Amino acid sequence: MPEGKFPQGWMVVDHIIPGVTEQMLDWWWVNMEKGYELWCPDEHKGFKWQVKPPMGGHIGAVQIATESIDYSPVMDLRIEWVDPNIGTEAQKDFWTYGHLLTAGSTGKEPGTKAMVMLSHQWEAIPGGCKMRSCMHGIPGGTAGGPPPGIPIPPHPSGKKPSGGGWPVHNIAEVSTFKAFLPALWGIWQAVPDPAINRQCSLKIKKQGSNIIYVK
């Protein structure tokens, strides 16, 4: 897919994350209960696994994240890590970095279909990682907050929505990685039990149209 030419409705945000390694980011996505509120303190208010990540993997894990998006109302969001192979050909062409995480729906819930709605991809660069986040589209609308004209309660922080929606929230999240993730990851190296300190490789390779996770 040509750089900068993305399907209509996609929201793409590029990041540079100094001091953070590929391994730290791989670890983070299956251990988020250990520091979710640190990731975006103003907007992240709670986290639990509805379905914990499988041993040594991540696909099928389901989280309930209590958060707001750009200081909209705080709510519980159900997010499922899914197999990227359910993605469209356009999405697969878009995923060009060495590590990949996809979220969406398996289609098992009533009234849903299999799809990838959110992706993060990252790989090492000198001094850290580069990362590309994308909201691929949400059925029935966008990730920009409640419809215009609907009164909303004030955010607990007292801050008001900027109108930037999910991209603003995504920047706020990813910008904090450098401040907490190296320290958090380092502390947890003291815990060898993989059932508690989960280990997961999100490194990928492509075989034709298939995406395979490798160690």
Query: Which single residue is written with the structure tokens 């062409």?
Result: 93
For residue 48, the tally of other CB atoms under 10 A from its CB is 14
User: How many CB atoms within 10 Å of residue 45?
Assistant: 17
Whether 119 has a pLDDT exceeding 90, the answer reads: yes
Residue type, 159: K
For residues 84-110, give the mean pLDDT: 95
Q: How far is CA 80 from the centre of its chain?
A: 10
> CA-to-CA distance for 80 and 62, rounded, in angstroms?
4
Domain ranges of the chain: 11-42+81-137+161-189
Across the range 178-203, mean pLDDT stands at 98
pLDDT given at position 142: 40
- SS3 (DSSP) at 102: strand
Q: What percent of the chain has pLDDT over 70?
A: 91
Instruction: Please indicate, yes or no, whether the overall pTM of this predicted structure exceeds 0.85.
Output: yes
In this prediction, residues 185-194 reach a mean pLDDT of 98
